[in-house]
Amino acid sequence: MPPTAAQVRRILGRLRSARRTEQGSLLHVLRGLAETGGGSKALLEAGAVPALLELVRSSNGRERKAAAEVALAVLMQLGKSDQNTLCGPNWKAAMLAANALLVVVRQLGSSSADSQLFAAVILGDLCLGDNEAAVAAVQHGAAGYVIEALQRPADPDTQQALLYALWVLAMAPQAAAGLLQNGAAEAIASLVLSGRVAEQAQPQTAWLLRDLTRGSEVRTRALARTGGIRALLRLMQHGSLEAAAAAAQALDSMLGDAPAVQAVAIAEGAIPALEAYLQAHPDSPEAELSERLLNLLRTAQHPKQAQQ
């Protein structure tokens, strides 16, 4: 039988005044409750979100940092459990009302990989489909924190979470412009070209590069100048099949009716790269798309021959 909001409030009351060891035990109880639909509902009704965020805010000292890490895990799980949706409306409303964005963004700079992972997932879920929240996150410095974190060695799950957060932010046009101004394109291209993107995060990386430029030739040209085209070509040639498909679709959305970007792609070796991909994967789902991209670039490279 799920707990009531009153029962959870009693736990939260003890949490505020508990010693560190008891505080850890109580947090793990809350984490278990957050993993169930009934428990997450009771946590939200009891006002757990502001109480947990307060623990994260006061994360000074080793023991406090450990408590903040578990508090972040509970907050992340609440977002997943609330009404079994990716971003529960009750959870999101409670988080934004408690000014969670700034707290979560600062945790992206944590020295703990787990805290970074939890914060990145929370940030992505909070900003998904919310242009205003995405812009606010970038204004709070999310781009700098994530880019800095991506430069350091990270386990695949943490890297994927950080890239997920950037991808969600890139879906908001105003936030995407802020990401580019903060060097996101260069950072992601460098990550791909150095072969440091985990396989599980490769498709997401291709979508991220696409959405950094979606609907803007100015941003597309900026991405192309900073290695974005080369990064997508590498994902096509050396990434997983899913990553290659995502990269081909990203290239399709970027090249289109954009002669300047097509010229960059040709200079970056897109034609031989597409030829090699088609030779290696003639029956892939993206073969037809790749053939169309190849013809587009050949025509752009030799327009007079195409007219004959």
Q: Hey, what amino acid is at 280?
A: A
Q: What is the pLDDT of residue 305?
A: 61
Q: String of b and e for 125-159 (b: at least 16 CB within 10 Å)?
A: bbbbebeebbbbbbebebbbbbbebbeeebeebbb
What pLDDT score does 87 carry? 44
Helices 48-57 and 100-107: angle between axes, nearest 10 degrees: 40
CA-nearest of 113, 104, 93 to 53 is 104
pLDDT at residue 64, as a whole number: 74
DSSP SS3 for 82 = helix
- Residue 146, token pair as written in the block: 């994530």
Q: How far apart are CA 91 and CA 284, in angstroms?
A: 41
Per-residue confidence in pLDDT tens, the chain, 308 aa: 778 999 999 999 998 888 878 888 999 999 999 988 788 889 999 999 999 999 998 866 566 788 889 999 999 999 887 555 444 578 999 999 999 999 999 999 998 899 999 999 999 999 999 999 999 999 999 999 999 999 988 899 999 999 999 999 999 988 998 998 899 999 999 999 999 999 999 999 999 998 988 777 788 888 888 899 999 999 998 988 899 889 998 999 888 878 888 998 999 999 999 999 899 888 888 889 999 999 999 999 887 665 55
Quick check: 209 and 217 in contact, CB under 8 A?
no
Domain ranges of the chain: 183-308
- Please name the residues in contact with 16: beta carbons below 8 A apart, sequence gap of 6 or more: 51
Structural Rg of the chain based on CA atoms:
22
